[in-house]
C-alpha cells in the first residue's frame, strides 16, 4: 500500500524540480542561521546564490560528525531553542553524543516519512505494531511510534529489553507488525520458540528492521523464524532518524529514499567525488525540509550504492542498496579489509548455526589475530557433525570469502550475548 501516492509516485522531473526549490531554501536557511555554515561556505567561496542547478551542490563543502561534536550541544540548530519541540541524541562509540533537534513541523514530516515506510513494509491502518525499538534519546522508538500512529496503527510501545514480557505481549495483543533491530528480532524469535510458540501461531505478518547492518541471509532467517515479511528501514539521527529510506515489500531489493525530504549522493570515501550508479561509496545526505537541524552534504560513513531503475512497486523515489558496512567499521586485519557482514553472510549459509556471532580482534606480538565466535542452533545440530571436518570446511570458506585466516570457535547454544538493541558484532582488543 502507498501511504502518500501522489508524492510516492511523483514523476522524476517533478521530484527534481521540487528538490531544487527546497535545496535553495535549505541552503539559505542554514547559511543565515548557523555560524558553522557561514564560515564554511565562505572558506569555499560559495554562498546559497551559487546554487542554480542540483549539480551545483557539489561546489558546497561536506559536513561531518566532528562538525556536530565541535558545536555540541546546540550549535547546529537553525532556530531558537523555544521553537525546538524535541531533542534526540545518538550516543556514538567515541566521545560526546550527537545532539539533534526538531521543530513541530520537523516532527510532522518525520511521522509522514515513517508512515510511508511502514506502509511500504506491508503495514496498513488497523495493524497492531509491536514497537521494540528503544524509547528515549535514541530515535528508533519514538520515530516508529509517531509514524505508526500517523498510519492509523495501534502501537504497542514495548521499547527494548524485558524479553519475557515482550513475548507475552506479542501473543496476548495479537501484534501484526514488529519493529526492532534485526538482532533483537532473532532474540525474540528464539524466546518464543523456547516457550513452544512456532512461527505461524502468532498474528505477525510483517517486520520493519534496521538501525544496524544485516545481511540477506539474516533476512531469510528472520522470515523463517517468525513467518513474516522482513523489510529493511534505514535512517540516522543526524538526518532525521528512522524512515529516511525503506525497502518495499514487493521487491525487497534496495531502499527508496524519500527524495522530497532528502537529497542523497554517493561519493568515493577517499576523494569525495561522486561514484557512478551501482558503485558502492559513502552516502551523503542533504535535508530539504528540516527547520531545526538542516544538514548540508552530511557524510554518513555508511557505504551503499545508488539505483535510479524503476521499481515494480510504482514508487519513483531513487533507491540506495542495503548498507554494505561503514567506512569506520571496515576492519583492517593484517592489512586486509574485512566487513563484519561478510562474516555473517558466510556463517548463515550453515543452517545449523544460530544467527549470533562475534568477531574478536587481538594482538599476538605485532600480529593481528582474528577469532570468529559462532554458536550452534541446538544441541542436536551440534551432535550431527563430525566436528573437525565441519570446522575445517567452514573455516576454509571464511578464509576464502574474507581473504584472511580467522580462527573459528563454535560455542554451545545460547552462549553468545544476545542484543536488546544494536548488536555488538566486533570486540577489538588490539589497542589494549
Ligand atoms: O539507528 C535510526 C534508526 C532507528 C534506523 C530505527 C532504523 C530503525 P542512529 O542511532 O543515529 O539512528 O544510528 C545511525 O545506524 O548511520 C547506520 O550506520 C546504522 N543504520 C541505521 N539503519 C540501518 C540499516 C538510527 N537499515 C546509524 N542498515 C547509521 C544498516 C543502519 N545500518
CA nearest 75: which of 34, 30, 37, 41?
A: 34
For ligand 1, is residue 418 a contact (CB within 6 Å)?
Answer: no
Residues 73, 162 share a domain: yes
Atom of ligand 1 nearest to the CA of 422: 1
What mean pLDDT comes out for the span 192-215?
95
Into how many domains does the chain fold? 2
Alpha carbon nearest to ligand 1 atom 16, residue: 236
Give residue 257's pLDDT.
Answer: 99
Give residue 186's pLDDT.
Answer: 95
Say how many Å lie between the CA of residue 210 and the centre of ligand 1: 6
Residue 334 three-state SS: coil
**For 162-199, what is each residue's pLDDT tens digit?**
999 999 999 999 999 999 999 999 999 999 999 999 88
% residues pLDDT > 90 (the chain): 88
- Cβ within 8 Å of residue 250, ≥6 positions away: 311, 312, 313
Mean of the per-residue pLDDT values of the chain: 95
- Cβ within 8 Å of residue 122, ≥6 positions away: 1, 177, 205, 206, 229, 231, 249
| pLDDT tier for residue 107 given thresholds of 50, 70 and 90 | very high
For ligand 1, is residue 294 a contact (CB within 6 Å)?
Answer: no
For ligand 1, is residue 233 a contact (CB within 6 Å)?
Answer: yes
How many other C-beta atoms are found inside a 10 Å radius of the C-beta of residue 345? 16
First to last CA, the chain: 51
For ligand 1, is residue 341 a contact (CB within 6 Å)?
Answer: no
Give residue 151's pLDDT.
Answer: 98
In the listed set 292, 308, 327, which residue is the last one of a domain according to the structure?
327
For ligand 1, is residue 207 a contact (CB within 6 Å)?
Answer: no
For ligand 1, is residue 99 a contact (CB within 6 Å)?
Answer: no
For ligand 1, is residue 303 a contact (CB within 6 Å)?
Answer: no
CA distance 177 to 229: 10
Domain of 35 in residue numbering reads as: 1-327
Say how many Å lie between the CA of residue 382 and the centre of ligand 1: 34
In the listed set 292, 327, 362, which residue is the last one of a domain according to the structure?
327
Q: Please give the DSSP secondary-structure letter assigned to residue 21.
A: H
For ligand 1, is residue 324 a contact (CB within 6 Å)?
Answer: no
Residues 336, 319 share a domain: no
| pLDDT tier for residue 337 given thresholds of 50, 70 and 90 | confident
Residues 356, 207 share a domain: no
| pLDDT tier for residue 350 given thresholds of 50, 70 and 90 | very high
CA-CA distances (angstroms) from residue 62 to 342, 403, 411?
29, 33, 45
Q: Does 354 have pLDDT greater than 60?
A: yes
For ligand 1, is residue 326 a contact (CB within 6 Å)?
Answer: yes
- The vertex-131 CA angle with 328 and 357, nearest 5°, equals 40
| pLDDT tier for residue 332 given thresholds of 50, 70 and 90 | confident
Give residue 382's pLDDT.
Answer: 78
For ligand 1, is residue 187 a contact (CB within 6 Å)?
Answer: no
CA nearest 175: which of 195, 150, 193, 148?
A: 148
Residues 47, 95 share a domain: yes
Domain of 165, CATH number, reads 3.40.50.12780
Q: Does 149 have pLDDT greater than 70?
A: yes
Give residue 405's pLDDT.
Answer: 93
Give residue 325's pLDDT.
Answer: 87
**For 42-80, what is each residue's pLDDT tens digit?**
999 999 999 999 999 999 999 999 999 999 999 999 999
Residue entry with cell 542436536: 380
Say how many Å lie between the CA of residue 241 and the centre of ligand 1: 8
Say how many Å lie between the CA of residue 354 and the centre of ligand 1: 23
Give residue 53's pLDDT.
Answer: 98
Residues 412, 291 share a domain: no
| pLDDT tier for residue 431 given thresholds of 50, 70 and 90 | confident
In the listed set 327, 359, 386, which residue is the last one of a domain according to the structure?
327
For ligand 1, is residue 267 a contact (CB within 6 Å)?
Answer: no
Domain of 399, CATH number, reads 3.30.300.30
Alpha carbon nearest to ligand 1 atom 15, residue: 211
What mean pLDDT comes out for the span 255-279?
98
Residues 130, 241 share a domain: yes
**C-beta of residue 65 within 8 angstroms of C-beta of residue 302:** no
Give residue 197's pLDDT.
Answer: 95
| 95 or 303, which is more confident | 303
CA distance 194 to 136: 29
Say how many Å lie between the CA of residue 262 and the centre of ligand 1: 16
Give residue 199's pLDDT.
Answer: 83
How many other C-beta atoms are found inside a 10 Å radius of the C-beta of residue 391? 15
Give residue 196's pLDDT.
Answer: 96
Q: Does 115 have pLDDT greater than 60?
A: yes
Residue entry with cell 513541530: 104
Q: Does 95 have pLDDT greater than 70?
A: no
CA nearest 70: which of 29, 46, 39?
A: 39
Atom of ligand 1 nearest to the CA of 213: 30
Q: Does 13 have pLDDT greater than 80?
A: yes
What mean pLDDT comes out for the span 294-301?
98
% residues pLDDT > 70 (the chain): 98
What mean pLDDT comes out for the span 386-409?
89
Residues 25, 13 share a domain: yes
Q: Does 94 have pLDDT greater than 80?
A: no
Residues 281, 377 share a domain: no
For ligand 1, is residue 211 a contact (CB within 6 Å)?
Answer: yes
Alpha carbon nearest to ligand 1 atom 9, residue: 236
Residues 103, 227 share a domain: yes
Give residue 329's pLDDT.
Answer: 74
Alpha carbon nearest to ligand 1 atom 4, residue: 140
Residues 269, 202 share a domain: yes
Residues 58, 201 share a domain: yes
Residues 303, 344 share a domain: no
Amino acid at each position: 500500500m502507498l501511504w502518500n501516492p501522489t508524492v510516492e509516485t511523483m514523476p522524476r522531473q517533478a521530484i527534481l524540480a521540487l528538490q531544487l526549490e527546497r535545496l535553495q531554501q535549505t541552503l539559505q536557511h542554514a547559511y543565515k542561521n548557523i555560524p558553522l555554515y557561514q564560515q564554511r561556505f565562505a572558506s569555499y567561496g560559495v554562498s546559497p546564490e551559487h546554487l542554480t542547478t542540483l549539480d551545483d551542490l557539489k561546489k558546497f563543502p561536506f559536513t561531518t560528525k566532528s562538525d556536530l561534536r565541535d558545536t555540541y550541544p546546540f550549535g547546529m540548530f537553525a532556530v531558537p531553542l523555544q521553537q525546538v519541540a524535541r531533542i534526540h541524541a545518538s550516543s556514538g562509540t567515541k566521545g560526546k553524543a550527537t545532539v539533534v533537534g526538531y521543530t513541530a513541523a520537523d516532527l510532522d514530516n518525520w511521522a509522514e516519512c515513517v508512515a510511508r515506510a511502514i506502509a511500504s513494509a506491508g503495514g496498513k491502518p488497523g495493524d497492531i505494531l509491536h514497537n521494540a525499538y528503544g524509547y528515549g534519546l535514541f530515535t528508533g522508538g519514538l520515530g516508529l511510534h509517531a509514524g505508526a500512529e500517523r498510519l492509523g496503527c495501534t502501537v504497542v510501545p514495548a521499547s527494548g529489553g524485558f524479553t519475557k514480557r515482550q513475548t507475552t505481549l506479542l501473543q496476548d495483543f495479537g501484534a501484526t507488525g514488529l519493529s526492532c533491530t534485526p538482532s533483537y528480532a532473532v532474540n525474540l524469535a528464539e524466546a518464543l520458540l523456547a516457550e513452544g510458540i512456532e512461527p505461524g501461531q502468532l498474528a505477525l505478518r510483517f517486520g520493519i528492521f534496521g538501525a544496524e547492518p544485516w545481511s540477506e541471509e539474516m533476512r531469510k532467517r528472520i522470515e523463517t523464524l517468525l513467518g513474516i515479511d522482513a523489510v529493511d528501514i534505514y535512517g540516522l539521527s543526524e538526518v532525521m532518524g528512522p524512515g529516511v529510506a525503506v525497502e518495499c515489500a514487493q521487491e525487497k531489493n534496495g531502499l527508496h529514499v524519500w527524495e522530497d525530504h532528502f537529497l542523497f549522493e554517493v561519493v568515493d570515501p577517499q576523494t569525495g567525488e561522486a561514484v557512478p550508479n551501482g558503485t558502492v561509496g559513502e552516502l551523503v545526505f542533504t535535508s530539504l525540509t528540516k527547520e531545526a537541524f538542516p544538514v548540508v552534504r552530511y557524510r554518513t560513513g555508511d557505504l551503499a550504492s545508488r539505483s535510479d531503475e524503476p521499481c515494480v512497486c510504482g514508487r519513483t523515489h531513487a533507491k540506495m542498496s542495503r548498507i554494505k558496512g561503514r567506512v569506520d567499521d571496515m576492519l583492517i586485519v593484517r592489512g586486509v579489509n574485512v566487513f563484519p557482514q561478510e562474516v555473517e553472510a558466510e556463517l548463515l549459509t550453515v543452517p545449523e548455526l544460530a544467527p549470533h556471532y562475534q568477531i574478536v580482534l587481538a594482538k599476538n606480538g605485532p600480529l593481528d589475530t582474528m577469532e570468529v565466535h559462532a554458536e550452534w542452533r541446538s544441541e542436536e545440530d551440534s551432535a550431527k557433525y563430525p566436528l573437525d571436518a565441519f570446522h575445517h570446511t567452514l573455516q576454509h570458506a571464511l578464509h576464502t570469502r574474507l581473504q584472511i585466516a580467522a580462527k573459528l570457535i563454535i560455542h554451545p547454544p545460547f552462549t553468545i550475548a544476545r542484543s536488546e538493541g544494536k548488536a555488538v558484532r566486533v570486540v577489538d582488543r588490539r589497542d589494549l
